Chain A
């Protein structure tokens, strides 16, 4: 059987993973599974949180090598807080995404990590940016990433509608992640969701037994 080249075949601990972010009416939801694996047969952590807060209303989620992702987000968090102090105002989501892109593009030979940056700012409201492996930056109304995302492209293409309500967007994210976790062996555990809106940030965890079940389960 031809091996699918997934991020998890890279150095050491890797977040073979499923991540997504979706814009809804008034905010964004960013979500991920919680499994970290070494190779394809050992789960090194069942409950890792891949949603990293880089500023008050800006979160990043990581796919790829965990070490690289942690290094990049740590650097980005520092640069972003410095930038925010200099500007004397909360940073733009695009600024956060640009910092990630700079780091990924300048170090593209060494790094093996991709990011989704999502958040809310006063200028443009809710936004989602994806920074891919080589350092491309793209803004999208919703995006999926990680090894498990291949299995849900059809589902999200069919089910996404612009301007959903919070409840619809939450259900969309939970279903998409549950479906991906059901088919990808390096994604699993619980579903972590973060809802980012103007008033604030809410972290929701959906444990494995509360996830939706599908026809063959």
Chain B
């Protein structure tokens, strides 16, 4: 049947036709993606691209991967869209309940722990890489990363998703401690743009959010307004 040219897996091909069924009927919906979060003094900046793919089909080109978990806590989702939505819903419920019991705003570390507990317990079934970020009164702006497998660690800057591999070098060289909110926004937008240009599973618009004591400000950078680089 499909005994046409058999290319070894490592040779790039121009077109991969499956002659029986289109690609998107056999693939899971994935937020193959680029997500990023940066701490600054007074809050965090989080960002994500907006592409959700089912195989080669872009199921949603304006996805919002920055999901609110509480008033000043957001999570950035990467991996399987279904898994991350389900986990985020469950954690939102648990955190809301906890916050009512506590009678005050929950800590970011608590939210991150809830994500970690779920991602670790069900690690065999889930495919989810999540960055939890926000502002609380005790420790200010914080970023916690919960990658696939269920580890949790706090980092001043964190990137995730399939596109993140391409920007490790850029982030390592450009991040400095003590950046202002505007510098963080510019840094995040540029890093996400570079990743979107190289990663086939990332693209669309750049969604950004700033979380601080004052609240949450969201913005969108459309395709034609993205920063430009000389080779890109």
User: What residues make up the interface of A, taking CB atoms closer than 8 Å to B?
Assistant: 1-2, 4-5, 7, 108-109, 112, 132-134, 136, 141-142, 150-158, 160-162, 175-176, 179-180, 182-183, 214-216
Known: A153-B169, A157-B197. 12 other contacts (CB 8 A): A108-B8, A108-B11, A112-B10, A142-B231, A154-B167, A154-B198, A156-B169, A162-B230, A179-B173, A183-B172, A214-B173, A215-B176
A215 touches which of B168, B169, B172 (Cβ 8 Å): B172
A182 touches which of B148, B166, B172 (Cβ 8 Å): B172
Closest A residue, CB atoms, query B79: A2
Binary flags per residue of B168-207, CB closer than 8 Å to A gives 1, else 0: 1111110111000000000000110011011000000000
User: With A5-B9, A133-B10, A157-B231 as given contacts, are A214 and B172 in contact (CB-CB < 8 Å)?
Assistant: yes
Closest B residue, CB atoms, query A182: B172
User: With A161-B230, A183-B172 as given contacts, are A154 and B194 in contact (CB-CB < 8 Å)?
Assistant: yes
* CB-defined A-B contacts under 8 Å, sample of 27: A5-B9, A7-B10, A108-B11, A132-B12, A150-B166, A152-B166, A152-B170, A153-B167, A153-B194, A154-B166, A154-B168, A154-B194, A155-B173, A156-B169, A157-B194, A158-B170, A158-B190, A160-B230, A162-B230, A179-B168, A179-B169, A179-B172, A183-B169, A183-B172, A214-B172, A214-B173, A215-B176
List A contacts of B9 (CB < 8 A): 5
> In the complex, A176 Cα to B194 Cα: how many Å?
15
> In the complex, A2 Cα to B123 Cα: how many Å?
13
User: What residues make up the interface of B, taking CB atoms closer than 8 Å to A?
Assistant: 7-12, 147-149, 165-173, 175-177, 190-191, 194-195, 197-198, 229-232
On whether the beta carbons of B165 and A1 are closer than 8 Å, the reply is no
List A contacts of B231 (CB < 8 A): 141-142, 156-157, 160
> In the complex, A183 Cα to B159 Cα: how many Å?
13
List A contacts of B177 (CB < 8 A): 215
On whether the beta carbons of B169 and A155 are closer than 8 Å, the reply is yes
| Highest count of chain A CB atoms <10 Å: which of B149, B173, B190, B232 | B173
Closest A residue, CB atoms, query B148: A1
> In the complex, A175 Cα to B197 Cα: how many Å?
21
List A contacts of B232 (CB < 8 A): 157
Closest A residue, CB atoms, query B13: A134
List A contacts of B8 (CB < 8 A): 108-109
> In the complex, A207 Cα to B171 Cα: how many Å?
23
Minimum distance in angstroms from A109 CB to a CB of chain B? 7
On whether the beta carbons of B172 and A1 are closer than 8 Å, the reply is no
List B contacts of A112 (CB < 8 A): 10
B191 touches which of A4, A154, A162 (Cβ 8 Å): A154
> In the complex, A180 Cα to B11 Cα: how many Å?
23
Closest B residue, CB atoms, query A7: B10
The 9 closest A-B pairs by CB, nearest first: A152-B169, A154-B170, A154-B167, A155-B169, A179-B169, A154-B194, A134-B11, A153-B166, A151-B168
Minimum distance in angstroms from A113 CB to a CB of chain B? 11
On whether the beta carbons of B175 and A158 are closer than 8 Å, the reply is no
Minimum distance in angstroms from A165 CB to a CB of chain B? 16
> In the complex, A108 Cα to B176 Cα: how many Å?
45
Minimum distance in angstroms from A32 CB to a CB of chain B? 16
Closest B residue, CB atoms, query A215: B175
> In the complex, A172 Cα to B46 Cα: how many Å?
28
Closest A residue, CB atoms, query B176: A215
> In the complex, A168 Cα to B170 Cα: how many Å?
17
On whether the beta carbons of A157 and B198 are closer than 8 Å, the reply is yes
> In the complex, A6 Cα to B7 Cα: how many Å?
17
Closest B residue, CB atoms, query A161: B230
List B contacts of A179 (CB < 8 A): 168-169, 172-173
List A contacts of B194 (CB < 8 A): 153-154, 157-158
> In the complex, A180 Cα to B166 Cα: how many Å?
10
Minimum distance in angstroms from A95 CB to a CB of chain B? 24
Minimum distance in angstroms from A114 CB to a CB of chain B? 10
List A contacts of B170 (CB < 8 A): 152, 154-155, 158
Minimum distance in angstroms from A80 CB to a CB of chain B? 25
